[in-house]
Structure 1
Amino acid sequence: MVERTCHHCSEVIASIRTCASCNMVFYCSESCLTHHNADKAGCSKMSYYSQLTPPLLSLPFTFAEETCSETFDDRALINFLKRQGVFNLGLWVRETPLSVLGFLDVLPFGELETVFDPYVLPIEGLALENHPIAPLEAALASWEGYYKWRGFPLSSPIAILLHHVMTVYHILQSSGVASQPESVVLLAGVEKEADLLITFLELSSLLPGKTISVIMVGPSISAKISGNCFKHDNLTVSRYCMTLQEYLRSNHQSCSVDVIICLNAGLAAYTSWRDAIVEIVKRQIRCYITDFCLLSLDMSQQALLSLTLQLESALNHMNMNSDLTSRSSENLSVKLSEPVINPFRCPVRKFCESARFPWFSNAFICELIFC
């Protein structure tokens, strides 16, 4: 039996109540439910979120019915990984919720890369060590297409490890950056992606003939590997223990970034994004963010609206260029584009204790729009 918490007060629910209007959120009492019912706009949003549940759950994998279930919690994930023979092995350590078993994940991000058998799965591991025999005839736009190209059965869970790099590939393709002969991609807020460096080698197979530089930055990256650079064919990957704004400021003269990608950004959850957004606006660099769910993106949109009101003073304070600082605050705007469902989202649903709407890693993609 999975544990549910109240959407209003966050208390563990003994007797579950569900909103009759949106049927999306759980409550512990009539009092908490009354608070939700009074928020007509919030309830309406929940109803809208529910409409996107079917397309989000539409994944081609034979295990999707299990991993996309509403009750698929961390213990269910552990059992799934054990049946797949990958539990707490190789790169799968970063997909294993060890806290459920009472273990604390103390290994800093970026120090897991020197594993003997990173993928654990023998067929997939052997295939990913080599370029595919057949080159791509067209850009990939689905997991089905990728699996067919790579020769993987749809029963393989390898998409769980590859969804980060495939999301980056999809953004590069849809933004047009992939058509450039050379491109510099800045991944911001990096955590476990720093350990998945070997999976990013797939970009050299996906984009042959292109020179690609991937720069990973994040304050949680281990200082031991900060500044390390890895080269493979047409791909270079480097990792730095610093925030996005710190990297842009320290490389302001030599920095030539084509696109910034913030995976599972959660702009509203971290105040450090405020300074990062200011730096992005200053340089007018194209930026894409992904997130787990529409609720998080709605909160991010509100956070950006608040930032817009402060943007002029922030730019002036940080000695930004005159083109931006001379403009009135009412002409400054930072917002997110309409979110689109990422075809290369993770096929494992993140369990939500207080609501029914599904969360998936890198579920939605938005572009940061500034003018």
Structure 2
Amino acid sequence: MECAGKGSGTRCLGPPRKRCGRCGAVAYCSASHQISHWKEHREECERLEQQMKHLDLLNDFPFTFSQEATIQISEKKESRCSFLSRRGIHQVGMWICECSCGASVTSFDYSRSESHTWNLSNILCPCRGPASPIAKSLCSWKDYYEWRCIPLHSPVALLLHWPLTVYHAIQIAGLGSLTSEISKLCIHYLGPEKELLQLAVFGELCALFPGVLVQIELIGPAVPHHRDGDKIDLHSYAHCIEKDCDCKYENESKSCGIGTRTSSRVTLQLHRGYYHDRFRDISKDSFPHLVIAPNAGIAAYSSWLPTIELLKEINAPAVFSDYCEEACHLAAFCINTVTCQPPRLPVQLNPFRQPMVVEDNALILPCYSNCFLFGM
């Protein structure tokens, strides 16, 4: 965490230990920096104060590891590395970029077989189809774990927040009934980064949308040049580590796993660049039922402005997420400035946010991947 008054003209005198007495969401290295920053901070202070009142709600998860992954990491009594290490999943397979010492997206290469597995036993992960179809809409991690018969000490939610956020976005965009009426669901997925190393988890959409071909176009500048245009067929689910598990036999008999065969239920296609530059070519064969932009950072990047203008023009449902409520508030302001309309979907907590807090936040507010959602 940095001093909120950093760059105000004088050098910081040390670590930011002096928190704002009203909101408690920002901290300063000295009283002088706090005073000089007040002119800017006064506009956000009351809003941040209200957001800080939601701390218990943000940290509320049903898992046995919840305190370890939230409060203890926030207080630096625990770290992402130590959490993953104790479970034997530190720097392996799809988990490799879940801590600061892990791989970056530049190492993206899904030819490695270990990146297609959970590195967990079959008791702890959804490596096979569900025992029963979804009887009702899933509204929480507890709902999902019960449906998939996964124990609450399993860490798979740390990766499954990607497909479950897609699932929830479809529900709140009012497209839930559509999935029972169509054979193909087209999603434009903007700005993928870390998930490029975790593509196999999107196979879970097979279970979430049974009988539907899900086509996802992943568009963003983080897609490597040599992967631009690549197509990946997910025929089923990521594997467990058990050699004699049914998931291995299912994959052999049903052409499951990641491959190049044409018969699949989830198809991912990669496109390098910005959405507003690539949309015309992509939409010729794939006009979106939904546009989704996880952890978008709209207020932080000017490249979003032409994309927002495009989304207004095509009038397709668009759902964004971000790490904290304040980021969503600033993004909503940007959208209103460009479109002259507030977001159609108000800022709301995502029940399928990643249940592990982000380390070293800019604010004292707890941040989670895919934490809050809003849409236009």
1:15 and 1:197 mapped to 2: Cα distance? 38
Q: Secondary structure at the match of 1:120?
A: coil
Q: 1:12 to 1:193 in 2, by over 3 A?
A: farther
TM-score of the pair, normalised by structure 1: 0.83
Give the secondary-structure state (helix, strand or coil) at the position aligned to 2:215: strand
Report the CA distance shift for 1:48/1:266 in structure 2 as closer, same or farther (over 3 A).
same
| 2:364 alignment partner, SS class | coil
The residue matched to 2:25 in structure 1 has which SS? coil
CA distance, structure 1, for counterparts of residue 369 and residue 361 of structure 2: 16
Quote the residue 1:143 is aligned against: 141
Aligned residue among 101, 117, 129 for 1:98: 101
Measured in 2, the distance between the counterparts of 1:159 and 1:106 equals 21
Contact 1:291/1:365 (<8 A) preserved: yes
Query: Is this contact kept in 2: 1:194–1:216, CA < 8 A?
Result: no
Partner of 1:43: 45
Which stretch has the larger CA shift, 147-156 or 262-271? 147-156
Write out per-residue CA displacement over residues 39-79 of structure 1, whole angstroms, 9 at most, x where no aligned residue: 43321011111122111111111111121116355971111
- Residue 96 of structure 2 aligns to a residue whose secondary structure is helix
Cα offsets for 1:83-104 (capped at 9, x unmatched): 11100000011212117xxxxx
Match of 1:263 among 269, 290, 294: 294
Aligned AA (2:194): K
Distance in 2 between residues matched to 1:157 and 1:113, nearest whole Å: 24
Structure 1 stretches of at least 4 aligned residues deviating more than 6 Å after TM superposition: none
Instruction: Indicate the percent of aligned positions where both proteins have the same amino acid.
Output: 26
Q: Pick from 80, 83, 86: which aligns with 2:83? A: 80
Structure 2 SS opposite 1:307: helix
Aligned-pair distance for 1:106?
A: 5.3
**1:306, distance to aligned residue in structure 2 (A):** 3.8
The answer to whether 1:8 aligns with 2:31 is: no
One-letter code aligned to 1:363: C
Whole-Å separation in 1 of the counterparts to 2:123 and 2:156: 7
Aligned pair in 2 of structure 1 residues 152, 261: CA closer, same or farther (>3 Å)? same
Whether contact under 8 Å (1:229, 1:238) holds in the other structure is: yes
Aligned with 2:273 (options 214, 217, 242): 242
Q: Aligned equivalents of 1:303 and 1:215: distance in 2? A: 25
Q: Determine helix, strand or coil for the equivalent of 1:290.
A: strand
CA–CA distance in 2 between the matches of 1:96 and 1:23? 27
Deviation at 1:114, TM superposition (A): 2.7
**Does the 8 Å CA contact 1:172/1:178 hold for their aligned counterparts?**
yes
Greater alpha carbon shift after TM alignment, 171-180 vs 342-351: 171-180
8 Å contact from structure 1 (residues 73, 350) kept in 2: no
By how many angstroms is 1:113 displaced? 5.4
Alpha carbons 1:109, 1:191 under 8 Å: kept: no
Q: Distance in 2 between matches of 1:44 and 1:349?
A: 23
Among 165, 177, 188, the residue aligned to 2:163: 165
| Shift, 1:307, TM fit | 2.9
Q: Which residue of 1 aligns with 2:253?
A: none
Report which stretch shifted further, 174-183 or 66-75.
66-75
Q: Distance in 1 between matches of 2:98 and 2:324?
A: 19
Q: Give the secondary structure class of the aligned counterpart of 2:373.
A: strand
Instruction: Name the residue aligned to 1:208.
Output: 210
Offset at residue 241 of structure 1 (A): 1.7
Deviation string, structure 1 residues 286-326 (Cα, Å, up to 9, x no partner)? 10000001221122123234434xxxxxxxxxxxxxxxxxx
RMSD (CA atoms): 2.4
Could you tell me how far 1:152 is from its partner in structure 2? 1.4
Q: Quick one: which of 82, 106, 109 aligns to 1:111?
A: 109
- Alignment-mate amino acid for residue 153 of structure 1: P
- For structure 2, list consecutive stretches of 5 or more residues without a partner in the other structure: 236-263
Equivalence for 1:351: 359
Cα distance, 1:202 vs. partner?
A: 0.5
State the match for 2:55 in structure 1: 53
Q: 1:136 to 1:16 in 2, by over 3 A?
A: same
Deviation at 1:190? 1.0
The aligned amino acid for 1:119 is: W
Match of 2:324 in 1: 293
Do the aligned partners of residues 72 and 90 (structure 1) sit closer, same or farther apart at CA in structure 2, a change above 3 Å counting? farther
Greater Cα offset, 4-13 or 89-98: 4-13
Per-residue displacement from partner, 1:214-258 (whole Å, max 9, x unpaired)?
111111112323222233243222222222112212235444211
